[in-house]
Amino acid sequence: MINKHIIQDRAFSRRSFIKRVSLGSAGLALGSLMQPASTPAKLFGSEKSEVEFRTGTDRREMIYQSLKPFQKEVEKAIGNKQIVIKANAGLATPEYEHCSSHADQLRGILDFLKPIHDRQIIITEGTAGAKCDAFIGFENYGYMPLEKEYKVKLVDANDQPYTQQWIRAAKHHPQAINIIDMFMDPDVYLISAARMKTHNAVVGTYSLKNVAMGAPMCHWRKKGAEQVNEKSKMHGGEGNSGGRELSYNLFLVASMGVQPDLSVVDGIVSIEGDGPWGGDPVEHGVVLSSTDFVAADRLCFELMGIDPKYMKYIEWCGDAGMGNFDLSKIKVNGPNYKDHIIKYKMNKNFDWQVEWIHENYES
């Protein structure tokens, strides 16, 4: 298992970040804006991270079985914290159901948590569309019955308090952004219920991106700001170069403390081609779980046949000590994952997405 202190350090990272109250642009040096708030110490070292890998078609049971080996570790890490499950349902209308967290993925997680946690659990999402209530998605995707089946409360993340922080716009300019406090709260145990998908800017999207892109505000209720979706700022705005700005900002937000304590990725039916909210279903028949989100996401793109050199935002998180990116430091329990690799069709703009990587990392 991963270092027993990693959960505490992630919480410390979140706590340090929240205490950084915005001083306004006049009071902040440009250099400080471009630096992570508090990068966690490199804790993994030579110790291997474990990923539980399962194959089949019974989503609920496979999710549950992939989590069972982590029971003692997760129970200890939760302690008195509030559990928050971040669903991947950022576009709430019915045509996106196949791209979103399945209700049975959430049931599998809740089945696992039930015997070790008797308090209320929050399931949340903050949609990216202006004037789009997350509860529309909760209804369309079959989440509403969960409140009766379990001790669960469904919450629209865009209704929660937030704090102004800073990321990077195109051409290295500082960019103010409002980050939802819940995703940085040191008293929250954050679970990412992600789906394995291709992406239109950073090649692939898994457990980290699910929470990091869920954290910026979309002001669909705020009077006078109904059309302001701050999630789009993560892409860098005008002048962005492929996935460069989004890759950097995903790493930056993760280094601020917005990172899963527990990653649960559903690849029973995943998405190839023009993901994350288009694309075509792939019946892959896999799920995986880990308390190391870097290791979990690394296995995802291995399973999709994606060259790791294109997954810079995950690689950088590994370099910063947030998890293990090196396959030699990842122990995959279950069937041989190499027997279940499928070469996914990439998004049609793949060459544009990775152009900056070829320019910056190849001679």
Dihedral sign for Cα atoms in the order 337, 74, 247, 161: positive
Close Cβ partners of 130 (under 8 Å, ≥ 6 residues apart):
218, 220, 226, 227, 228, 229
Average pLDDT over every residue of 41-47: 56
| pLDDT value of residue 19 | 42
Residue-wise pLDDT for 60-104, tens only, equals: 999 999 999 999 999 999 999 999 999 998 888 888 888 999 999
Contact 245, 170 (CB under 8 A): yes
| pLDDT value of residue 47 | 81
Q: Which of 45, 38, 43 is nearest to 257 (CA)?
A: 38
Dihedral sign for Cα atoms in the order 117, 297, 129, 95: negative
* 18 within some domain: yes
Average pLDDT over every residue of 18-44: 38
| pLDDT value of residue 91 | 84
Distance from C-alpha of 278 to C-alpha of 200, rounded to nearest angstrom? 10
Per-residue buried b or exposed e for 64-89, using 16+ beta carbons within 10 Å of the residue's own CB: bbbbeebeebbeebbeebebbbbbbb
Average pLDDT over every residue of 126-153: 90
Distance from C-alpha of 178 to C-alpha of 19, rounded to nearest angstrom? 14
Range of the domain at 137: 6-361
- 3-state class (DSSP) for residue 261: coil
Contact 127, 187 (CB under 8 A): no
| pLDDT value of residue 45 | 55
17-21, 32-36, 47-51: range with highest mean pLDDT = 47-51
* 278 within some domain: yes
pTM for the model: 0.89
Residue entry with tokens 């659990």: 121
Distance from C-alpha of 117 to C-alpha of 131, rounded to nearest angstrom? 35
Average pLDDT over every residue of 317-333: 97
Contact 338, 192 (CB under 8 A): no
Residue-wise pLDDT for 265-314, tens only, equals: 999 999 999 999 889 999 999 999 999 999 999 999 999 999 999 999 99
Residue 133's CB is within 10 A of a number of other CB atoms, namely: 16
Which of 11-25, 50-64, 265-279 comes out lowest in average pLDDT? 11-25
| pLDDT value of residue 119 | 97
* 309 within some domain: yes
The number of folded domains in the chain is 1
Residue 130: is its pLDDT beyond 60? no
Residue 46: is its pLDDT beyond 90? no
- 3-state class (DSSP) for residue 109: helix
* 266 within some domain: yes
* 174 within some domain: yes
Contact 237, 169 (CB under 8 A): yes
Residue entry with tokens 């320019």: 359
Residue 113: is its pLDDT beyond 90? yes
Contact 308, 301 (CB under 8 A): yes
Average pLDDT over every residue of 168-186: 93
* 310 within some domain: yes
DSSP per residue over 31-99, as a string?
A: HHHTS-S-PPP---TTPPEEEEEEESS-HHHHHHHHHGGGHHHHHHHHTTPEEEEEE---S-SGGGGGG
- The vertex-242 CA angle with 239 and 244, nearest 5°, equals 90
| pLDDT value of residue 4 | 34
Average pLDDT over every residue of 310-328: 97
Residue 199: is its pLDDT beyond 70? yes
Residue 15: is its pLDDT beyond 60? no
- 3-state class (DSSP) for residue 257: coil
| pLDDT value of residue 30 | 30
Euclidean distance between the first and the last CA atom of the chain, given in angstroms as a whole number: 38
* 1 within some domain: no
* 239 within some domain: yes
